[in-house]
């Protein structure tokens, strides 16, 4: 089984003590390539330093809506500079993590929207996919994507919407990121939705260190759990584990423009 973890925060301090060992264990289990997403200006350099040391790691840079109060107007200009400086670098793979979070009510929505759109425009300018965080904001996200029409699409990370919403994202050229959330028996509605998704819609992810799967509850999530997540989601989708692994890796490689060998 060869897997791509399309969403991690491997640069976070939770991994400082054992990052190399964890990566070695993940690779031994078939998790070959991993995307590490930037969330605020302060972690971009650390993230880039990290991926530079490992050819199977890929970087995305962005300003995450949950850290809205940490972002400054000049950080958007810096993001533009990073993307310009690294344009064409094989380990730069996307703009992200960006998006809209309507679950946390203290986050100012007009400010989130402006920041989101500015970063979608950067994705368009640099012809990169966009990796998007969406909580309780599918309608407005879909409307925004319809208006801006990104040529390379992207991924709706930790997708938890409806089958209808899934269809709208697919029409805009987006894939749906699935990880630990639908492995939980309590997530009944999401599990039903996942059962209806076509194989070409799905990319696998962990969101490590967050969103631990049901088989490793209450602990740090890790890319090494991706094979088990894949097995459980394949069961939900009524396909073989290898079939889902192959399809999701193919979908991710195609989106990021990576050669599949």
| 185, 161 Cβ separation under 8 angstroms | no
Burial class (CB in 10 A: 0-12, 13-18, 19+), 158: buried
Q: Least distance in Å: CB of 243 to Zn ion? A: 26
Q: Least distance in Å: CB of 143 to Zn ion? A: 23
Residue 191: alpha-carbon gap to chain centroid: 19
Return the number of the residue (60 or 142) whose C-beta is nearest Zn ion.
60
Q: Least distance in Å: CB of 37 to Zn ion? A: 5
Starting at the edge strand found earlier in the chain, the sheet holding 202-204 runs: 3-8, 31-37, 57-61, 92-101, 130-135, 154-157, 174-178, 202-204
Residue 165: alpha-carbon gap to chain centroid: 17
Rounded Cα gap, residues 145 and 187, in angstroms: 27
| 169, 176 Cβ separation under 8 angstroms | yes
Return the number of the residue (13 or 185) whose C-beta is nearest Zn ion.
13
Residue nearest to Zn ion (CB): 97
Return the number of the residue (16 or 74) whose C-beta is nearest Zn ion.
16
Q: Least distance in Å: CB of 261 to Zn ion? A: 27
Return the number of the residue (161 or 192) whose C-beta is nearest Zn ion.
161
Q: Write down the number of H helices and E strands in the chain.
A: 9, 8
Residues within the interface to Zn ion (CB under 5 A): 97
Return the number of the residue (97 or 232) whose C-beta is nearest Zn ion.
97
Q: Least distance in Å: CB of 214 to Zn ion? A: 19
């Amino acid at each position: 089984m060869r897997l791509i973890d399309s969403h991690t925060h491997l640069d976070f301090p939770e991994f400082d003590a054992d990052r190399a060992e964890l990566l070695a264990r993940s690779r031994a289990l078939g998790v070959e390539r991993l995307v590490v997403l930037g969330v605020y200006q302060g972690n971009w350099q650390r993230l880039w330093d990290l991926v530079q040391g490992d050819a199977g790691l890929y970087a995305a840079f962005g300003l995450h809506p949950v850290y809205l109060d940490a972002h400054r107007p000049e950080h958007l200009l810096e993001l533009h500079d990073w993307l310009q400086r690294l344009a064409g670098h094989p380990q730069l793979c996307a703009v992200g993590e960006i998006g809209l979070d309507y679950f946390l009510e203290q986050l100012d929505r007009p400010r989130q929207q402006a920041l989101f759109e500015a970063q979608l425009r950067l994705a368009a300018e640099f012809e990169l996919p966009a990796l998007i965080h969406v909580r309780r904001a599918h309608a407005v996200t879909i409307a925004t994507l319809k208006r801006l029409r990104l040529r390379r699409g992207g991924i709706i990370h930790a997708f938890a919407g409806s089958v209808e919403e899934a269809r709208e994202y697919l029409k805009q050229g987006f894939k749906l990121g699935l990880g630990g959330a639908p492995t939980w028996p309590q997530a009944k509605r999401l599990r039903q939705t996942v059962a209806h998704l076509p194989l070409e819609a799905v990319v696998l992810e962990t969101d490590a260190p967050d969103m631990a799967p049901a088989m490793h509850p209450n602990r740090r999530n890790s890319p090494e759990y991706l094979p088990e997540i894949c097995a459980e989601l394949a069961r939900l989708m009524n396909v073989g584990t290898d079939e889902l692994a192959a399809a999701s890796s193919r979908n991710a490689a195609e989106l990021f423009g990576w050669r599949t060998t």
